[in-house]
Chains A and B, each alone.
Chain A
Amino acid sequence: MHGTNVTTNEHRFEVAGLTRVEGEGSLRLVVRDGQVTEAQLAIFEAPRYFERLVVGRTPDEVLDIVARICGICPVAYQMSAVHAFEDLAGIAVDPAVRSLRRLLYCGEWIESHALHVYLLHAPDFLGVANAVELAALDRPAVERGLALKKAGNRIVSILGGRPIHPVSVRVGGFSKAPTKRELQAMRADLDAALGHAIATVDWVSTFVAPEFEREERFVSLRHPDEYPMNDGRIVSSDGVDLAPTDWESAFHEEQVPWSHALQSHMGDRIPYLLGPAARITLAGDRLHPEARAALDRIGLAEAIRRNPYWSIAARAVELVHAVAEAIDIVDGYVPPEVSARPYAAGPGRACWATEAPRGLLFHHYELDERGLIASAKIVPPTSQNQAAIEADMTSFAPSILDLPHDAATHKLEQLIRSYDPCISCATHFLDLTVEPAR
């Protein structure tokens, strides 16, 4: 009653260097007397100051520079930026260019999701440390994953020269659009990839995921006819509905002491989650019929909605979507009359959001009278997901307290990996509208 005999019952879980995630981060969960006192996903990747690096540059230079924020999802950075600049200039691109950009994004989704599903995430479900050990158990599975990844890389390479930091995206279109023949050359690979993607859905549906239910609060783009990539409105589970230029009217960023990435919240400090589970929950009715059929067959839509560990199934379903849509685009392709429409940069506010593999990626640039960048704000999906991940760690904590310490820590690390955090992306947060140092 007076606390004289009270012994503090403290559980402390820490992983100093998270593995099988992109970039450098750590996790820390402290539970004292049954109460979570700290739940932190710390991001200590060295800052590179991208929002400052683009100041003074031309919009086309920005497309090359922001790609370097992330080697895994360079296309996403190019897409949000190019749409922002075209929106400001009032350029409507050729319909063929619009399709090619979706195809480019399909390539990146395939490459990124195959990487995460097979090389980073599946090892958790199968009790191994990496893809080499996974290959010792099931080499055909790893080879299937690598073939899928290669198909995605091939799409990006045909459209942009190379899978990492492609070179062809320009304001107004592409520096050079592919010929029909160049796209058709990968048709057989895409057919094989569709089979691999469907097999991936069936494969991951046999996995056993830890029990966990999170509070559902998702945000993604939603389009009247398409599965969301480059176009649509920003929507949420609880009724947000915004133009892709207006992210800042509902969301805001803040700095926390333990991380080099700014965290984002909705409204009154409400965490929210982006990415494949968000898209399937908010726009699953726009999935390609092949992907919808795969999702219905495994019956995991509800699990994807509630349990972050099942994000692996969401990624697998999106693999089917991206391959099937890529095939449709290749088959229907008629080259544009001109690769790029003429563009002259002028002053103003250029904003846009697209769906990176890991979720909504918002860019905001201010252009000066010369058409050069005066300021920039880039809000990557992982920094937006950070607060939701920490909230999930807190609500997950009670279920692991009775486990041996190592097993509990492993489950926590596995939880973090299920969000596919891209820490290289998250660390660059340079918000020029933030007040100067106090």
Chain B
Amino acid sequence: MSGAVRASIPSKPRLGIMKFASCDGCQLTILDLEDHLLDLLERFDLVEFAEASSYRSSGPFDVVLVEGSISTPEQAEEIVRIRRETPLLVTIGACATTGGIQALRNWADHDAYRAAIYANPEYVESLATSTPISDHVAVDAELRGCPIAPEQLLELLTALVVGRRPQLPDEAVCLECKRRGTVCVLVTGTGPCLGPVTFTGCGAMCPAFARGCYGCFGPREGANAASLAHWFGRDGRSDADTARLFSGFTANAKPFRDVIDNLGGPPVAATKGEKA
């Protein structure tokens, strides 16, 4: 099992799993690897995973998996510290890799948001934006998805312990849909679908459930989101309704963000500056 390829990672890596602004779902995906969980955790020295273990560590680590976006001043400082303590930093999920659904506030007036929620907003520390980890520090690998795909997580962790590169798909949802034999929802008219521009990993789940893809794995590299948006417009969809389609869990990823900006912003932008 040993070899030069794994030189930088020890045989039983010190693993930290932590979160910033998020729903805990990507960490839960680790616990959802039910059949493999105990065997897998024996391969690591799990020093920090507050959701599932009472042991705490602030580092150093060999590997860290981070869920969640950066949305408070403390988080912006903490990720820089974690990066210093960690040779291999992996971001997991749509929040960590794009800013998540909460990044819709990047288009809005944050003070109005906060005041709308809290009678006493001064109790609440929060940045005006929700941003991906890679806006703050260098990231060594990313798992996409809202939530991440368990198969990809297992592949990543297995690759880590045996010291090889993880094999992660780099295809659009469309290819997965074809392999699955699902009839195209754009062709049947079931719905607008972001499948042509979205990373797969979900197994083309939404079309299989008779609805269009809503882009939760984010834009794949080189995706021509602007062209897809243009075609939605030619079908008679208003700019606002096309922007709405891209204003989801990976809205802040650049190709989607550009589409939203060109079409006048996400639905919540209509409330900009408004007091509750």
Q: Does B261 contact A (CB under 8 A)?
A: no
Contact B31 A119 (CB under 8 A): yes
A260 CA / B122 CA spacing, docked (Å): 11
Contact A123 B105 (CB under 8 A): no
Note all chain B residues with C-beta closer than 8 A to A435: 119
Contact A434 B22 (CB under 8 A): no
Q: Does B24 contact A (CB under 8 A)?
A: yes
- 9 more contacts with CB within 8 A, not counting A19-B50, A20-B52, A424-B24, are A49-B105, A71-B22, A71-B25, A72-B25, A129-B55, A161-B206, A161-B209, A168-B211, A434-B276
User: What is the distance, in angstroms, from B38's C-beta to the closest C-beta of chain A?
Assistant: 5
Of the listed stretches A139-147, A196-204, A312-320, A344-352, name the one at the interface; the rest are far from the partner chain: A139-147
What secondary structure prevails in chain A residues at the interface with B? loop
A379 CA / B231 CA spacing, docked (Å): 40
Contact B32 A163 (CB under 8 A): yes
Contact A56 B120 (CB under 8 A): no
Contact A437 B115 (CB under 8 A): yes
A165 CA / B42 CA spacing, docked (Å): 29
Q: Which of B32, B205, B208, B244 contacts A153 (CB 8 A)?
A: B32
Q: Does A32 contact B (CB under 8 A)?
A: no
Note all chain A residues with C-beta closer than 8 A to B42: 132
Within 8 A of A (CB), among B11-49: 19-29, 31-32, 34-35, 37-38, 41-42, 46, 49
Contact A20 B53 (CB under 8 A): yes
Q: Does B72 contact A (CB under 8 A)?
A: yes
Q: How large is the interface on A (under 10, 10 to 19, 20 to 34, 35 or more residues)?
A: 35 or more
User: What is the distance, in angstroms, from B251's C-beta to the closest C-beta of chain A?
Assistant: 10
Within 8 A of B (CB), among A154-193: 160-165, 167-168, 170, 174-176
Q: Does B61 contact A (CB under 8 A)?
A: no
Q: Does B210 contact A (CB under 8 A)?
A: yes
Q: Does A228 contact B (CB under 8 A)?
A: no
A176 CA / B183 CA spacing, docked (Å): 14
Q: Which of B32, B35, B54, B108 contacts A20 (CB 8 A)?
A: B54
Which residue of chain A has the shortest Cβ distance to B130 in the bound complex? A48
Within 8 A of B (CB), among A260-274: 260
A52 CA / B126 CA spacing, docked (Å): 15
Contact A52 B214 (CB under 8 A): no
Which residue of chain A has the shortest Cβ distance to B51 in the bound complex? A22
Within 8 A of A (CB), among B185-214: 202, 205-206, 208-211, 214
Note all chain B residues with C-beta closer than 8 A to A300: none
Contact A19 B248 (CB under 8 A): no
Within 8 A of A (CB), among B234-276: 244, 248-249, 266-268, 270-271, 275-276
Which residues of B are at the interface with A, using a C-beta cutoff of 8 A? 19-29, 31-32, 34-35, 37-38, 41-42, 46, 49-56, 68, 71-72, 75, 100-102, 104-105, 108, 111, 113-124, 126, 130, 146-147, 202, 205-206, 208-211, 214, 216, 244, 248-249, 266-268, 270-271, 275-276
25 contacts between A and B (CB under 8 A): A18-B50, A49-B117, A52-B113, A56-B266, A57-B244, A57-B267, A64-B248, A72-B28, A74-B23, A119-B52, A129-B54, A142-B38, A146-B38, A161-B208, A165-B146, A167-B209, A176-B208, A260-B123, A375-B276, A424-B24, A431-B117, A434-B117, A434-B118, A436-B115, A437-B119
Note all chain B residues with C-beta closer than 8 A to A130: 46, 49, 52-55
Contact A51 B28 (CB under 8 A): no
Which residues of A are at the interface with B, using a C-beta cutoff of 8 A? 17-24, 45-49, 51-53, 55-58, 61, 64-65, 68-72, 74, 115, 119-120, 123, 129-132, 135, 139, 142-143, 146-147, 149-150, 153, 160-165, 167-168, 170, 174-176, 254-255, 257, 260, 339, 372, 375, 424, 429-438
Q: Which of A46, A129, A165, A175 contacts B210 (CB 8 A)?
A: A175
Q: Which of B22, B38, B68, B117 contacts A429 (CB 8 A)?
A: B117
User: What is the distance, in angstroms, from B20's C-beta to the closest C-beta of chain A?
Assistant: 7
List of 3 A-B pairs having minimum Cβ-Cβ separation, nearest first: A71-B25, A56-B267, A130-B53
Contact A424 B214 (CB under 8 A): no
Q: A175-B211, A176-B209 are in contact. Are A53 and B102 (CB under 8 A)?
A: yes
Note all chain A residues with C-beta closer than 8 A to B248: 64
Q: Which of A53, A153, A432 contacts B104 (CB 8 A)?
A: A53
Q: A48-B102, A119-B31, A436-B275 are in contact. Are A72 and B52 (CB under 8 A)?
A: no
